[in-house]
């Protein structure tokens, strides 16, 4: 939505929840519109003057933010029905302009437990990284000399995969992530490939293949491709899923026929 001279205020509708066990409810606030203001700045305006649109003084809503430049992934939330980073969500782009007011609805992610208001617990993402052993197995730091050369295409892929910031957008958008599924999700799969491509990280490749061929693994992907549509960093998740689908199939066939990995 392109900003116009007629826009003078922002009407924020926020889904609030005081604690993980409390009932949720809606609250609405009005703050002045400024050119290029983002969602986080609008929430800061509410924090400075915590009064609802009806004039009631309240405790300001809670949210998470750190880097404010789409690097940390902490400010993920649903903005007008779409999951994204709030720090790069410009009101004029995400809001619906009605007369002189931008209408913006904010909700916490639904695939993660709510801690308070817009703050959710993303622990499942970090537990999933443990499950796929998303690390380089090295004991200490030693001068091992120059690293072995790597194909430039692989290097580019590794860099693209390394941009993942565990923000949770892909899990929120994935229809396979639900209460009836144990699917590990696209973020962990992308990181599994990243470390399989690492010259040292690939030493744990067999362990990753074992997990990814389990019930929680890659067969849980329904190929909806929602993950790549919402990923703020452009991580090639579909490419990672496709490659690991092939790699795990080869792994299982070799294991079935008794070949060593």
CA angle 45, 232, 237 (to 5 degrees): 155
Q: Say how far apart CA 250 and CA 233 lie, in whole Å.
A: 30
* Enclosing domain of residue 18: 9-116
Q: Quote the pTM value.
A: 0.91
Copy the structure tokens of residue 39.
Answer: 């969602």
Last residue of a domain, one of 91, 116, 141: 116
pLDDT tens digits, 122-181? 999 999 999 999 999 887 777 777 777 889 999 999 999 999 999 999 999 999 999 999
User: Based on the domain organization, do 91 and 71 belong to the same domain?
Assistant: yes
Number of structural domains the chain divides into: 2
CATH number for the domain including 35?
Answer: 3.10.20.30
pLDDT tens-place string over residues 45-77 = 999 999 999 999 999 999 999 999 999 999 999
| Closest by Cα among 182, 185, 178 to 231 | 185
CB 51 within 8 A of CB 29: yes
Closest C-alpha among 176, 250, 242 to residue 209 = 250
What is the Cα–Cα distance from 191 to 253, expressed in whole angstroms?
23
Residue where a domain terminates, one of 81, 99, 116: 116
Residues 228 and 175 in one domain: yes
* pLDDT tens string 209-249: 999 999 999 999 999 999 999 999 999 999 999 999 999 99
């Amino acid at each position: 939505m392109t900003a116009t001279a007629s826009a003078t205020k922002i009407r924020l509708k926020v889904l609030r929840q005081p604690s993980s066990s409390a009932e949720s409810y809606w609250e609405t606030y009005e703050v002045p519109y400024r050119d290029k203001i983002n969602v986080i700045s609008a929430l800061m305006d509410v924090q400075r003057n915590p009064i609802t649109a009806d004039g009631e003084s309240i405790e300001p809503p809670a949210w998470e933010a750190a880097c404010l430049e789409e690097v940390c992934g902490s400010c993920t939330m649903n903005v007008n029905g779409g999951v994204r980073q709030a720090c790069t969500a410009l009101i004029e782009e995400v809001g619906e302009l009605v007369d002189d007011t931008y209408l913006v609805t904010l909700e916490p992610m639904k695939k993660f437990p709510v801690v308070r208001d817009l703050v959710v617990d993303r622990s499942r993402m970090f537990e999933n990284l443990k499950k796929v052993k998303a690390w380089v197995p090295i004991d200490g730091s030693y001068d091992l000399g120059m690293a072995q050369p790597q194909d430039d295409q692989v290097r580019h892929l590794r860099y693209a995969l390394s941009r993942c910031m565990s923000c949770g957008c892909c899990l929120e958008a994935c229809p396979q992530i639900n209460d009836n599924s144990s699917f590990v999700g696209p973020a962990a799969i992308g990181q599994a490939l990243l470390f399989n491509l690492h010259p040292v990280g690939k030493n744990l490749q067999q362990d990753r293949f074992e997990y990814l061929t389990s019930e929680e693994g890659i067969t849980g992907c329904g190929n909806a491709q929602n993950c790549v549509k919402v990923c703020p960093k452009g991580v090639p998740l579909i490419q990672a899923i496709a490659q690991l689908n092939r790699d795990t199939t080869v792994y299982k066939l070799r294991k079935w026929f008794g070949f060593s990995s």
